[in-house]
A and B are shown apart, each in its own frame.
Chain A
């Protein structure tokens, strides 16, 4: 009985709360305190049937509930002013109901956008481990043990036992090991991008110790530098804007030959020259090149039969260019006031 009374009080109070007009309140009053069939009235009328012990407990409780409800009704009636609440005319300029809006991290947004763009060219997505073996990160990519990129100040190493066959355990400094892992497993033709986390021991306005790259790899017969250009041009137009062009500058990487640095039209001045691009009209985006025959050999593909091209670009770099972010570290400070801008 006590439980029933407590429950009844909660329900009644809830109804009083949600009542909008004095008529509503009157309805609630009749439902619970009505002279004939009010729920509380009925309990009171059953009181005589209870035992003395029960009466001693329930009696005061009934009084308490009754007092609560009467007081609540009175208060509510005061609020609605004893008359119907005035209905305001619809004001279309008043704010709508607020809903919370969440955002994807800008790096995620770019990550998915990049995947979508390359999907249009038939590129699938591949992934590989972030903690890697030396062999995948360097040796198979035609970078011998003493290559500068494998130095302690270029690559993070893990305190762990080395693998006899695959060398030291490290944090991959680039997504290129995925090239190797894919070519080991999949027969050409291959078209993949491999976006993912990489690590390097740097920390300044344009370098962070953990960052994202997206590797691209295409392997087929008879591929040309022109094919590479076209694929990369397609991407930069879709990602940065239709008037953005690319330029290849000769460069050197061990795992590609020929190798290039890819520049894009400065997104601010559109190539006219401005402080951002040091008045050159171009911004450096990242490296690319034709797959080196030694890389094909490392994965057991015949370089005379297959040709390929690859690139590995920083996602944060793309974002920094696209949104003109002077210091990429801001992306990982995770200040919601920043993240919600994207």
Chain B
């Protein structure tokens, strides 16, 4: 909220600005900015328009003769709202205005506009930096003396606080509310807001009847008719207050409603009485067929559930959000219904969101407006209308208020207060703080205080903890001594998964791979064949779905880094989201790792499995959606499928922008972690030496090496064979067509003896037989 300091001062004695800001920040009212409103206007003077004539060479321009001390200036002006006798801000040649055409300060120079010289400029509010109003020249109070600097005329510059009000403190969305808060937290003197009640002053009363259809939507509706109004501009001081508070002056009636809202926090609305059929107002929920053109000029077809103010024939406006154009204040309006009502915050919020209509009124209703204050605000507005629009109240105050506000009583015990604070604060001091905040004592014993909640804090304070917060924030959080908790340390919940994942990540980084982290949302085109969860309100097509695989994202990252000239030695660990029927998805922890070729990527995996003390993985050729036909494999560990590896297919390479062949493996870490065991068993090192032998074979290219080595281990019947490992695999046309040469390293060992040549020879013979029979190999 924007709060002009001079306005606050009418209701509270302010400490120096710096002290005030610090205190507000300490106590929960964040001062987001301190603005200087109307700076740099010292050279702008008040001038009087003596004459306005049309510009001889341009239809849209006028020529004004303006009197300033000792000089008459001839000024070309495009605005239509000027007339002889008005006082206006004049920027002479050589001076400058803060907001020129491009939003930056502009120096006024002697120029000719359509062949007529202009000796200065008449200024709009926007050009002076006094708001965004550029619809015409800023018309000043006619009583001002010619030549008065604008800063003196308008008491500028004004310091304006911009506060951030938390959602629970709707009461601070008003000058008076903020002034009350300042008084409470600084202890400064506070001037209460007074309003005279205004009874009927005309003998010929205007009929006003109000029916509230649903009191949950509108718990209080106060209204009064004011007549004999003369529409015109509001007084300059009021216009300035509105501008300082970020609002635009419109006319005296609308300005009064806005002014009172800024002052008290109670949104008011004025309907043209002549547009209210039969003087009967109905507050109800909208129904099918209802339509209204709101003040912003948009015709809205309403569905169910919107609070409308209607008469028996038509909708007059959206209650608490925006009035209707038809029932709004026009140039001919002379009688108004002034509405000061309370609307349901939730309903207002929904309406504001549904029609994308956020107004100063809806903002306040959403945060909650003080139930007890409607009539006071109404009285204030009527008073101002009488003074500045010449009206009379022409009806009694209608006040539909079936459930009167009952202040809640809340208890504060010194036990709990002192527990939260961590030090002993005498209850009387807490009481003093609460009293200043308007939480008046109902009863007090030695260690227990009961207070009642004033209507402006009704939505915010209902339990003891709320009172503790009030006491703590005012007495100061800095005063609370820090002390580490002393209770017993609970046994930690299992974090083995996090530790394992860390081991995995650390291992991969030690291999020279860098971890990347990709947003887990993907575009539809990167989903592949999987069913994925769709985000209903995604903010970009690129992020429409939750990924079901890490591969697309990691590949894109690799492609991008290749383009930047970095070698994509990368991996990612993250969740993939697999939809389930009528339940939250299965969030699987996954690993994706990239290698320049299959052997390297496979090697990363094998070394990782070894690090995790897992059994050797089995890789079996397969076809899979992301990979090229002849370069993909499933990865099995301990007979469980844990992932896939392969060279990215051309289709996916194109989708992800990859211009190089890369191998990617994706591993299901959730499954893999189930296979790891923290129970490591010790195995003593064999006492007897092992014997190593090599066999070189020539075999068909199509025979998988894994099958050969597995075959030897499992089926050869070699008694002492403990391991088989393939090495030195190569093809050579001289071997004959479709053949490859493979060397096998065999290790033999016995637990109970040193092997003899005969032992090994017998085993080797069995192996050779198996190779010849089952794999049709040539042994050299």
Q: Are A146 and B350 closer than 8 Å at their CB atoms? A: yes
Q: Are B734 and A6 closer than 8 Å at their CB atoms? A: yes
Instruction: Check if A53 is an interface residue, CB within 8 A of chain B.
Output: no
Mark the stretch among B141-149, B288-296, B335-343, B517-525 that contacts chain A. Answer: B517-525
Q: Are A6 and B511 closer than 8 Å at their CB atoms? A: no
A43 to chain B, nearest CB (A): 12
Residues of B within 8 A of A127 (CB): 497-498
Contact flag A2-B736 (CB < 8 Å), given A129-B587, A146-B349, A209-B543: yes
Residues of A within 8 A of B463 (CB): 257, 293
Name the residue on B nearest A226 (C-beta).
B422
Contact flag A158-B557 (CB < 8 Å), given A6-B735, A108-B517, A250-B28: no
Segment 347-391 of B: residues with Cβ below 8 Å from A: 349-350, 353
Segment 118-144 of A: residues with Cβ below 8 Å from B: 121-122, 124-127, 129-133
Instruction: Check if B45 is an interface residue, CB within 8 A of chain A.
Output: no
User: What separation, in Å, do the CA atoms of A189 and B492 have in the docked complex?
Assistant: 11
Q: Are A257 and B469 closer than 8 Å at their CB atoms? A: yes
Q: Are A122 and B489 closer than 8 Å at their CB atoms? A: yes
Q: Are B477 and A334 closer than 8 Å at their CB atoms? A: no
Q: Which of B484, B514, B536 contacts A339 (CB 8 A)?
A: B514
Q: Are A130 and B492 closer than 8 Å at their CB atoms? A: no
Residues of B within 8 A of A224 (CB): 419-422, 480, 483
Q: Which of B468, B566, B730 contacts A336 (CB 8 A)?
A: B566
Contact code string B526-555 (vs A, CB < 8 Å = 1, else 0): 000000011111111001001000000000
Residues of B within 8 A of A3 (CB): 696, 698, 735, 741, 778, 780
Contact code string A148-189 (vs B, CB < 8 Å = 1, else 0): 100111001111110100000101000000000010001011
Q: Are A100 and B169 closer than 8 Å at their CB atoms? A: no
A165 to chain B, nearest CB (A): 12
Q: Are A210 and B521 closer than 8 Å at their CB atoms? A: yes
Residues of A within 8 A of B28 (CB): 249-252
Residues of A within 8 A of B465 (CB): 257-258, 290, 292-293
Instruction: Check if B509 is an interface residue, CB within 8 A of chain A.
Output: yes
Size band of the interface chain B makes with A: 35 or more
Instruction: Check if B678 is an interface residue, CB within 8 A of chain A.
Output: no
Instruction: Check if B318 is an interface residue, CB within 8 A of chain A.
Output: no
Name the residue on B nearest A234 (C-beta).
B484
Instruction: Check if B274 is an interface residue, CB within 8 A of chain A.
Output: no
Instruction: Check if A84 is an interface residue, CB within 8 A of chain B.
Output: no
Instruction: Check if B27 is an interface residue, CB within 8 A of chain A.
Output: yes
Name the residue on A nearest B498 (C-beta).
A125
Residues of B within 8 A of A146 (CB): 346, 349-350
Instruction: Check if B584 is an interface residue, CB within 8 A of chain A.
Output: yes
Q: Are B421 and A186 closer than 8 Å at their CB atoms? A: no
Name the residue on A nearest B26 (C-beta).
A249
Residues of A within 8 A of B778 (CB): 3
Instruction: Check if B516 is an interface residue, CB within 8 A of chain A.
Output: yes
Q: Which of A191, A223, A332 contacts B519 (CB 8 A)?
A: A332
Mark the stretch among B210-218, B222-230, B568-576 that contacts chain A. Answer: B568-576
A95 to chain B, nearest CB (A): 17
B423 to chain A, nearest CB (A): 8
User: What separation, in Å, do the CA atoms of A34 and B50 have in the docked complex?
Assistant: 123
Instruction: Check if A244 is an interface residue, CB within 8 A of chain B.
Output: no
Please give the number of chain A residues whose Cβ is less than 8 angstroms from any Cβ of chain B in the complex.
95
Name the residue on A nearest B736 (C-beta).
A2
Residues of A within 8 A of B741 (CB): 3, 6-7
User: What separation, in Å, do the CA atoms of A234 and B543 have in the docked complex?
Assistant: 38
Segment 66-109 of B: residues with Cβ below 8 Å from A: none
Residues of B within 8 A of A126 (CB): 493
Q: Which of A2, A108, A234, A290 contacts B515 (CB 8 A)?
A: A108
Q: Are A191 and B780 closer than 8 Å at their CB atoms? A: no
Residues of B within 8 A of A163 (CB): 582
Contact code string A32-62 (vs B, CB < 8 Å = 1, else 0): 0000000000000000000000000000010
A164 to chain B, nearest CB (A): 10
Residues of B within 8 A of A227 (CB): 422, 483-485
Q: Are A336 and B533 closer than 8 Å at their CB atoms? A: no
Q: Are B27 and A209 closer than 8 Å at their CB atoms? A: no
Q: Are A226 and B421 closer than 8 Å at their CB atoms? A: yes
Q: Are A186 and B514 closer than 8 Å at their CB atoms? A: no
Residues of A within 8 A of B166 (CB): 251-252
Q: Are A112 and B587 closer than 8 Å at their CB atoms? A: no
Q: Are A2 and B734 closer than 8 Å at their CB atoms? A: yes
Q: Which of A129, A156, A191, A225 contacts B584 (CB 8 A)?
A: A129
Residues of B within 8 A of A335 (CB): 560-561, 564, 566
User: What separation, in Å, do the CA atoms of A115 and B744 have in the docked complex?
Assistant: 47
Mark the stretch among A73-81, A214-222, A264-272 that contacts chain B. Answer: A214-222
Q: Are A124 and B537 closer than 8 Å at their CB atoms? A: no
Query: What 6 pairs across the A-B complex have the smallest Cβ distances?
Result: A100-B512, A250-B28, A226-B422, A124-B492, A122-B489, A258-B469
Residues of B within 8 A of A (CB): 25-28, 30, 166-169, 346, 349-350, 353, 419-423, 463, 465-466, 468-469, 472-473, 477-478, 480-485, 487-493, 495, 497-498, 502, 505-506, 508-521, 533-540, 543, 546, 557, 560-561, 564, 566-570, 575, 577, 579, 582, 584-585, 587, 696, 698, 728, 730, 732, 734-736, 741, 778, 780
| 23 sample A-B contacts, Cβ–Cβ < 8 Å, listed by A number | A2-B735, A7-B780, A10-B730, A99-B512, A100-B513, A100-B569, A101-B509, A102-B511, A103-B509, A104-B509, A105-B517, A107-B517, A148-B167, A159-B535, A191-B489, A191-B490, A192-B493, A197-B575, A209-B521, A229-B482, A249-B477, A335-B560, A337-B566
